[in-house]
Amino acid sequence: MNNEKLIELRSISKSYDGEQVLRSINLDIHRKEFITLLGPSGCGKTTTLRIIAGFVTPDEGDVIFDGKRINDLPPHRRNVNTVFQRYALFPHLNVYENIAFGLRLSKTPDEEIKTRVTEMLTLVNLRGFEKRDVSSLSGGQQQRVAIARALINRPEVLLLDEPLGALDLKLRKDMQVELRRMQQQTGITFIYVTHDQEEALSMSDTVVVMANGEIQQIGTPEKIYNEPENAFVADFIGESNILNGTMIKDYTVSFAGQTFTCEDAGFEPNEPVDVVVRPEDIDIVPVDKAMLTGEVTAVTFKGDYYEIIADIDNFKWMIETTDAFRAGDTIGISIDPYEIQVMKKSEFSGMFGDYSTFSDEMDHLSDPDGEASE
Amino acid sequence: MTGRTRDARPVAAAPHMVWAVLFIIAPLIFVAVYSFRGADGGFSFENFAALGDYTDAFVRSASYSLIATVICLVIGYPLAYAISLCSPRTQRVLIMMVMLPMWINFLIRTYAIMKLLEDTGFINGTLQKIFGEDFELHMINTPGAVIFGMVYDYLPYMVLPIYTVLSKIDPKLGEAAADLGCSKVQTLFRVTLPLSVSGVVSGITMVFVPSISTFYISQKLGGGQYLLIGDAIETAFASTSTYSVGAAMSLVLMVIVLISTFIMNRFDKDSSKGGVVI
């Protein structure tokens, strides 16, 4: 990855049937970067990808590729290739011909096609599958053919639309490693779309978190996880306790009825803020040394750790610990200054409650007066 | 699979078996028996020898139906393709319009075409109003009129199977083709067309088979000058004395149809997977 911009999205907006799916997106994508668009379904990540591929024309804004505006360039004239969600392999062609498809179009000599298809089959570990019918392949094998078919054209950018979504967990992990290897081996810019935060964190150079048609945060995986910019990012990436707080002054924040030292500054005095504390960053200490005390309400054994839900002042905290506790135990907790992340209030403030339930959907399900969310 | 479902299968198939024996197999046996029965009632090939008189009718039927099938394909494929590109709502309306003529009796449709094509018919009447009283475009009682009748009557059978296959092609495949560098025309020829072969094969079969055995169209639109094999069979079965010749003609026609269907299916790789696309 270097700092040379390859693709620039400038104030991109798009609506379908009056529903706005993208609101003024600005994004720079650099050469040789592995960038992931991460967000829940309906956040606009796939639409963004399709705009770059050329299948969707934005209502407003510019798509700049290598310094040139390409809004009106049809997909077949763009130097990008796509790996589709359900592969979209051509059922009337065998593995060899599927991969050779792009080269046949550009009237490449047969000899060269043969060399390059073999090269691609080696890259995706499918040597010997040349003559196979694509419908006879497993999901993982079809996936590899789709990648080879897209990469053989030597695009400057490879677009991947939830390519691992249909694979089982272990295979998905292997493919994550392989995709990363292929990206580094070929030096091609990868733009990857997923709703799986773990996938995004483990593969990417840069993660772009999206929600409601807007970019919430752009950053390295570490930055996104450790320093989320708003409650949405904090909630979507990993587990997090998000509390209402007040930034009393620089390096001092109050929440849960206590005042804490933190490492954040630059807020107005007494500005209302959202505070994030990750479950694994909380220390359980004897009650007499505790900053906060509460009662354990639930314990789940997770293998290498226990996940505890503790009621502290009617807020259900999630805490991860290696020590065993039982429901009903009283515990004390301590939080180090560098484990506290203070965020500006946003449209998402208050949307993510405590750990009374794990999902918002569960709240909706048990609320007889609530409307169905979709 | 449990024993119950296996046992239930012959029972479920029984109504069809009875139907097939009564209305398909038995008539075929009658046809075969009649066609090999001589004037003296014994086994004989004389009926087939008599078919020499009908060579013209066979050749004419085959060539007319072949031409009609080609025309149906040339009109039907682009039509089906265009319909498959419309919005789902529009698709439903357009397919309804393709099928609408099939709701009207075949004989009445043919009669209506006759009235249109006649020298004193609607088309000539309109043309005379434009170009003057002396103008006349002679259409009725020509081979063209007969072929036109076949095309008109059987076009829906070409459009529907092709449309069905086209509408089931994953739109993502078109996107994938464009993504890999296909223009719209290249996508049509490299992806859409090869994937719709099964529909084309069904369409050709469903137009060619009824066209080659059709009757009545030639009587009305060809003025009886162009004897087709279907009409010859009808005439033969009109009198008991020529039953056997009619049966022989039916048998030969059936063999021709079977051979052509077999040849057509060779072009459709998918047919080995079973099921018929209609």
Q: Where in chain A is the domain with CATH 2.40.50.140?
A: 239-365
- List, for residues A58-98, the tens digit of each pLDDT value: 999 999 999 999 999 999 999 999 999 889 999 999 999 99
The single residue listed with the structure tokens 């109050």 is A254
Residue B272 pLDDT class (50, 70, 90 cuts): very low
- List, for residues B71-111, the tens digit of each pLDDT value: 999 999 999 999 999 999 999 999 999 999 889 998 899 99
Return the pLDDT at B102.
Answer: 87
- Amino acid, single-letter form, for residue B148: F
Residue A168 pLDDT class (50, 70, 90 cuts): confident
Return the pLDDT at A2.
Answer: 61
Q: How many percent of chain A have pLDDT more than 90?
A: 78
Residue B132 pLDDT class (50, 70, 90 cuts): confident
Interaxial angle between packed helices A169-186 and A110-123, expressed in degrees from 0 to 180 and rounded to the nearest 10: 130
CB contact under 8 A, A88 and B186: no
The single residue listed with the structure tokens 């752009």 is A218
Does domain A5-224 fall into CATH 3.40.50.300?
A: yes
In this prediction the pTM is 0.81
Question: Rounded mean pLDDT of A131-139?
Answer: 92
- Helix, strand, coil % over all residues of chain B, rounded to 5: 80, 0, 20
CB contact under 8 A, B180 and A92: no
- Amino acid, single-letter form, for residue B76: G
In the structure encoding, which two tokens stand for residue B241, read together? Answer: 């004395």
Q: Is A194 helix (H, G, I), strand (E, B) or coil?
A: strand
Residue B173, chain A, CB below 8 Å: the answer is yes
Return the pLDDT at A363.
Answer: 64
Q: Which is higher by pLDDT, A232 or A168?
A: A232
CB contact under 8 A, B173 and A102: no
Instruction: Residue A322: count other Cβ atoms within 10 Å of its Cβ.
Output: 8
Chain A residues with a Cβ under 8 Å from any Cβ in chain B: 53-55, 74-76, 80-82, 84, 86, 88-92, 101-102, 105-106, 149-150, 153
CA A23 to chain centre: 19
Nearest to B175 among A88, A101, A149 (CB): A88
- Give phi and psi for A288, each to the nearest 5: -70, -15
Return the pLDDT at A167.
Answer: 84
To probe the interface with B, which of A97, A99, A101, A162 has the most B CB atoms within 10 Å? A101
- Helix, strand, coil % over all residues of chain A, rounded to 5: 30, 35, 40
Q: Where in chain A is the domain with CATH 3.40.50.300?
A: 5-224
Return the pLDDT at A372.
Answer: 46
- List, for residues A250-283, the tens digit of each pLDDT value: 999 999 989 999 999 889 999 999 999 999 999 9
Q: How far apart are CA A63 and CA B42, in angstroms?
A: 86
Whether residue B241 has pLDDT greater than 90: no
Return the pLDDT at B4.
Answer: 53
Q: How far apart are CA B109 and CA A305, in angstroms?
A: 80
**Strand (E) positions, chain B?**
none
Question: Rounded mean pLDDT of A39-68?
Answer: 94
- Which chain B residue has the Cα nearest residue A83? B176
Contact by Cβ (8 Å): A124, A147? yes
Instruction: Residue B255: count other Cβ atoms within 10 Å of its Cβ.
Output: 10
**With b meaning 16 or more CB within 10 Å and e meaning fewer, what string describes A331-359?**
bbbebeeebbbbbeeeebbeebebbeeee
CB contact under 8 A, A91 and B195: yes
Q: How many percent of chain A have pLDDT more than 70?
A: 95
- Which residues, listed in sequence order, are joined to residue A275 by a DSSP beta bridge? A243, A342
Q: Where are the domains of chain B?
A: 53-273
Q: How far apart are CA B214 and CA B206, in angstroms?
A: 12
Whether residue B154 has pLDDT greater than 90: yes
Residue B274 pLDDT class (50, 70, 90 cuts): very low
Backbone torsion region of residue B150, taken as left when φ is above 0, otherwise alpha when ψ lies between -120 and 50, otherwise beta: alpha
Question: Rounded mean pLDDT of B49-59?
Answer: 90
> How many residue pairs bridge chain A and chain B with CB atoms within 8 Å of each other?
59
Whether residue B277 has pLDDT greater than 80: no
Contact by Cβ (8 Å): A253, A288? no
Domain A239-365: state its class. Answer: mainly beta
Return the pLDDT at B225.
Answer: 87
Cα angle for residues A268, A269, A270 (degrees, 5° grid): 110
Q: How far apart are CA A125 and CA A144, in angstroms?
A: 8
Whether residue A371 has pLDDT greater than 90: no
Question: Rounded mean pLDDT of A332-359?
Answer: 87
Whether residue A373 has pLDDT greater than 50: no
SS3 letters across A38-62: ECCCCCCHHHHHHHHHCCCCCCEEE
Question: Rounded mean pLDDT of A159-180?
Answer: 89
The single residue listed with the structure tokens 């965020």 is A343
Contact by Cβ (8 Å): A31, A201? no
Across chain A, what does the average pLDDT equal? 91
Return the pLDDT at B265.
Answer: 84
To probe the interface with B, which of A49, A56, A57, A84 has the most B CB atoms within 10 Å? A84
DSSP state of A187: T
Question: Rounded mean pLDDT of A331-340?
Answer: 93
Return the pLDDT at A1.
Answer: 52
Return the pLDDT at A166.
Answer: 79
To probe the interface with A, which of B168, B175, B179, B269 has the most A CB atoms within 10 Å? B179
CB contact under 8 A, A81 and B180: yes
- Amino acid, single-letter form, for residue A241: N
- Which residues, listed in sequence order, are joined to residue A10 by a DSSP beta bridge? A62
Whether residue A336 has pLDDT greater than 90: yes
Q: Is A352 helix (H, G, I), strand (E, B) or coil?
A: coil
Does domain B53-273 fall into CATH 3.40.50.720?
A: no
In the structure encoding, which two tokens stand for residue A363, read together? Answer: 């709240």
Contact by Cβ (8 Å): A216, A237? no
